[in-house]
């Protein structure tokens, strides 16, 4: 718009001057001492215009000459950047094809041309790492730290990722230093949380979990799985009933209703001595979501009359009559209630559907309690035969003497 106005103004001035010149040329006299120069007004205007144009051209030339060194420098820098970008593309493409060595060479060459080569050095470190060239990898990381100290968070994060497999504790120390210095980004929180889980530092993970959630560092499903593992391990590793119950009361309601978390809590509680609330917790949970682990643990309870629990559990047969875990649980409860015939019937039906070793043991123990030692011996013999042809069993949380859970 400004340029249009300038051209319009210039056009009007030229038009006005031309009109005046045609109307009356006029005369212009220049006196310098004894010298007198006379000319027409039109010629004088033309000469002034020519002088203005010459002056403008001279100033433009001087400006171009003044800017020439910088222009040449910028062009050289631009060509270097183009070569650096080409080297980055060549290196990444070679890396995609698994040619780590060629990729490394291209990236290092490009790093020396780039204005900010930190990402080139980090990419080259990855390529060296993929080749098992630890010395070159560490050298590239060191050069990146020395040349680009302002990017120490990114460099430390990449180094931690590269060290996670071979030296997880060193990687953890790098991430912890970033967290303690208040330099943790969302990516740092994500790596830190997942590495803590891998190293089974569950207590520390519980401490930082609120910050991980606030940073939205992990996808919702990944975060949920991580938190579930954390609570399950914390409950399983509780060293006293008081510590276990303290953890249980820290749980959000949704986790208390989670079958996997509840199963871990009940299994650990059984090692300390169960409480009357366990049966009701399992029953409420099974009303919302049927879970074989909870059904199994229901049969391990000893608190209160077994006959009452048997009657409540038999109502589940209506919808889960062919569930071998439920049938085995009913057999155990019937055995606790000293209903020997009913117990054997349930346990044998469970074995017919799925010959689990734990069910064989329950049947043999029930027969021994009923005074049928010979029949119990036969069951043990059948269990040994089944062991030879055993397939993968259903994973159930069976508590051992340490409170840990394992599959049947």
Residue 56 lies in a domain: no
How far is it, in rounded angstroms, from Cα 261 to Cα 268?
11
C-alpha 153, offset from chain centre: 17
Residues 230, 197: contact at Cβ < 8 Å? yes
Residue 81 lies in a domain: yes
* Of 105, 125, 147, the domain-final residue: 147
- Same domain? For 250 and 399 the reply is yes
- Same domain? For 273 and 375 the reply is yes
DSSP-based three-state secondary structure for 60: helix
Residues 111, 121: contact at Cβ < 8 Å? yes
Residue 65 lies in a domain: no
* Of 123, 147, 171, the domain-final residue: 147
What does the pLDDT read at residue 311?
Answer: 94
Residue with structure tokens 């040449």? 72
Residue 10 lies in a domain: no
Residue 44 lies in a domain: no
* Of 147, 180, 212, the domain-final residue: 147
Residue 378 lies in a domain: yes
Residue 165 lies in a domain: no
- Same domain? For 272 and 376 the reply is yes
DSSP-based three-state secondary structure for 146: helix
- Same domain? For 264 and 403 the reply is yes
- Same domain? For 142 and 245 the reply is no
Q: How many domains does the chain have?
A: 2
Enumerate residue ranges in the chain where pLDDT < 70.
10-11, 14, 16-30, 33-34, 36, 38-45, 71-89, 91-92, 95, 114-115, 274, 389-408
User: Whole domain around residue 260: which residue ranges?
Assistant: 241-408
- Same domain? For 132 and 260 the reply is no
Task: State pLDDT tens for residues 314-373.
Answer: 999 999 989 999 999 999 999 999 999 999 999 999 999 998 889 999 999 999 998 898
Task: State pLDDT tens for residues 123-158.
Answer: 889 889 888 889 999 999 999 999 889 999 999 999
Residue with structure tokens 């959630």? 213
At 84, which CATH number?
1.25.40.10
- Same domain? For 264 and 400 the reply is yes
pTM of the entire structure? Answer: 0.73
The per-residue b/e assignment along 311-324, b for 16 or more CB within 10 angstroms, e otherwise, is eebeebeeeeeebb
Residue 34 lies in a domain: no
- Same domain? For 139 and 247 the reply is no
């Amino acid at each position: 718009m400004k340029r249009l106005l300038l051209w319009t103004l210039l056009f009007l001035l030229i038009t006005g001057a031309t009109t005046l010149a045609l109307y009356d040329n006029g005369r212009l006299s220049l006196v310098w001492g004894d010298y007198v120069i006379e000319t027409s007004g039109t010629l004088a205007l033309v000469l002034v215009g020519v002088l203005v144009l010459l002056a403008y051209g001279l100033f433009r030339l001087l400006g171009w000459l003044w800017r020439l060194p910088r222009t040449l420098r910028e062009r050289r820098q631009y060509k270097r950047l183009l070569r650096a970008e080409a080297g980055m593309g060549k290196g990444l493409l070679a890396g995609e094809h698994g040619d780590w060595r060629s990729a490394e060479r291209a990236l290092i060459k490009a790093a020396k041309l780039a204005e900010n080569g930190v990402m080139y050095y980090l990419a080259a470190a990855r390529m060296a790492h993929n080749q098992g060239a630890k010395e070159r990898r560490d050298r590239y990381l060191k050069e990146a730290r020395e040349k680009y100290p302002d990017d120490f968070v990114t460099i430390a994060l990449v180094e931690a990722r590269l060290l996670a497999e071979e030296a997880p504790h060193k990687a953890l120390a790098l991430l912890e230093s970033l967290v303690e210095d208040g330099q943790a980004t969302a990516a740092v929180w994500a790596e830190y949380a997942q590495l803590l889980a891998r190293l089974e530092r569950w207590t520390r993970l519980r401490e930082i979990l609120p910050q991980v959630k606030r940073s939205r560092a992990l996808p919702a499903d990944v975060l949920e799985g991580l938190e579930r593992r954390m609570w399950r391990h914390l409950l399983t590793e509780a060293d006293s009933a008081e510590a276990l119950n303290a953890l249980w009361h820290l749980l959000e309601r949704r986790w208390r209703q989670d079958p996997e978390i509840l199963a871990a809590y009940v299994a650990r509680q059984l090692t300390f001595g169960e409480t009357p609330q366990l049966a009701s917790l399992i029953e409420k949970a099974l009303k919302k979501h049927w879970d074989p682990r909870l059904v199994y643990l229901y049969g391990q309870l000893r608190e209160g009359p077994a006959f009452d629990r048997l009657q409540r559990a038999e109502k589940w047969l209506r919808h889960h009559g062919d569930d071998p875990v439920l049938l085995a649980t009913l057999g155990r409860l019937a055995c606790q209630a000293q209903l020997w015939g009913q117990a054997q019937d349930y346990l044998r039906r469970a074995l017919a559907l799925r010959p689990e070793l734990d069910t064989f043991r329950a049947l043999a123990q029930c027969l021994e309690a009923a005074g049928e030692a010979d029949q119990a011996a036969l069951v043990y013999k059948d269990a040994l035969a089944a062991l030879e042809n055993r397939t993968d069993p259903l994973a159930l949380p069976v508590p051992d003497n340490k409170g840990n859970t394992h599959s049947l």
